[in-house]
Amino acid sequence: MFECVKKVKETIKLPSTTVRLLLQHVHWNEQRLMEQFFDPDYQDKLFRDANIVNPFKKSPNVDGVEDLKRQLSSSPLHSFRRQGLTPSTPSTPSPMIMTPPSSPLINLKPVTPIIEHTCVICCVTKSSNEMGGLKCGHVFCIECWQYYLISKIMDEGISETISCPAKCNIRVDDITVLHIIESQDVRNKYQYLITNSFVQCNRKMRWCPGKNCKNAIKELLSSGVTTVTCTCHTSFCFQCGDDGHEPIKCEWLRRWHKKCQDDSETSNWIAANTKDCPKCH
């Protein structure tokens, strides 16, 4: 997955997080992404359909965000230390700061006196260094961001389609999620969900069906051999994911399973709705 992102990134010259979201949108089809990205008549639609702010086109919301940024100081974000985030330095800009097109999340920095904002989710007034938002301009407190992302990842099992809490559909990128989330369990679940979507969209990869096995098998050569063995010693058919069934074709096996299922359902219906003739038995 990282090789795919790196390859596309070198061509279209966009941040890795943006590239991954675009690849996810086109189901990891590199050729389709290249065609749509370099088509001047389709590029804007590509970003719009993927719910990503087009870095090559000025967004209507950017003006408001830039006006707000000009009002704020460039002092370090001390409060982000307790959130597990690293404040920026003059030489190393934080990925949480809005520096288009590489960083979707911005932080509202404090001035003297500290500017206060009311989070529209929890309705609590907090200092600007406790707030953050995406390029769309919607800003919420970090605590609400955490609860929102944890709910999406752990309760709904969503990773690649997490959007702004304001329901403007702008996607939350990987860097933003991993900087806001503190729990390692949640971070691991998020990374697993992203990897799972990549494997499911890749015809040359398949998860091992072995119990408690987390390995993904990748096809290196089209040798015609369908039965593969994982390092956990589980053997299965790479084409259909069922137990190895050579030399039977996958389609024949599928038909056989369907016939057995139909016969079983017929037998269950007969047993539930009929009785044996007492004279015959």
Answer yes or no: is pLDDT of 105 > 60: no
pLDDT at residue 19 is higher than 80: yes
Peptide bond into 104 cis (omega under 30): no
DSSP 8-class letter at 154:
I
Does residue 164 sit in the same domain as residue 261? no
State the average pLDDT for the chain.
73
Instruction: Supply the pTM of this predicted model.
Output: 0.57
User: Within this chain, do residues 24 and 49 fall inside the same structural domain, yes or no?
Assistant: yes
pLDDT at 212: 84
Q: Say yes or no: 47 and 93 in one domain.
A: no
For residues 56-60, average pLDDT: 61
Give the pLDDT of residue 78. Answer: 32
Rounded CA gap, 130 and 268, in Å?
A: 62
Q: Are residues 81 and 183 in the same domain?
A: yes
On whether the CB atoms of residues 27 and 34 are closer than 8 A, the answer is no
Residue pair 191/177 in contact (Cβ under 8 Å)? The answer is no
**Over residues 4-28, mean pLDDT:** 81
Angle (nearest 5°) at CA 228 between 222 and 234: 160
Residue 250 belongs to what domain range?
A: 226-265
Residues contacting 276, CB < 8 A, separation 6+: none
Pick from 117, 114, 69: nearest CA to 93 = 69
What is the arithmetic mean of pLDDT over 112-130?
77
One domain for residues 50 and 68: no
Q: What is the pLDDT of residues 217-231, one digit of tens each?
A: 887 766 666 788 888
- How many domains does the chain fold into? 3
Residues 34-57 pLDDT 10s: 888 888 888 888 888 887 877 777
Q: Are 195 and 202 in contact (CB under 8 A)?
A: no
CA distance 67 to 96: 18
Q: Could you count the other beta carbons within 10 Å of the beta carbon of residue 189?
A: 17
6: pLDDT strictly greater than 50: yes
Whether residues 76 and 26 share a domain: the answer is: no
* 172 domain-assigned: yes
Query: Can you give the pLDDT at residue 76?
Result: 34
More confident residue, 171 or 63: 171
**Does residue 74 register a pLDDT over 60?**
no
Check whether residue 13 and residue 111 sit in a common domain.
no
Instruction: Answer yes or no: do 157 and 178 share one domain.
Output: yes
For a pLDDT cut of 70, what percent of the chain falls above it? 78
Residue 83: the pLDDT is 37
Residues 123 and 147 in one domain: yes
Q: Quick check: is 245 in a domain? A: yes
On whether both 143 and 259 belong to a single domain, the answer is: no
Check whether residue 45 and residue 76 sit in a common domain: no
Of the given ranges (95-99, 134-138, 233-237), which has the lowest mean pLDDT?
Answer: 95-99
pLDDT at 92: 34
